[in-house]
Amino acid sequence: MKKLKFLPLIFGLLFFASCASHNGLVNNFNNNNTTVELSEKNYKIIDYVKGDASCTYIFGIGGLSKQALVEKAKSEMYSNAELQGQARAIANISVDNKYSLFPFVGKMTVTVSGHVVEFE
Mean pLDDT, to the nearest integer, of 15-25?
A: 57
Domain boundary assignment for the chain: 18-119
The confidence score (pLDDT) of residue 82 equals 86
pLDDT digits (tens, 9 = 90+) for 54-103: 999 998 888 888 889 999 999 999 999 988 888 888 988 999 999 998 88
pTM of the model: 0.67
**What is the pLDDT confidence band of residue 48, given thresholds at 50, 70 and 90?**
very high
CATH architecture group of domain 18-119: 2-Layer Sandwich (3.30)
Mean pLDDT of the chain: 80
Q: How many CA atoms lie within 13 A of 41 on its CB side?
A: 0
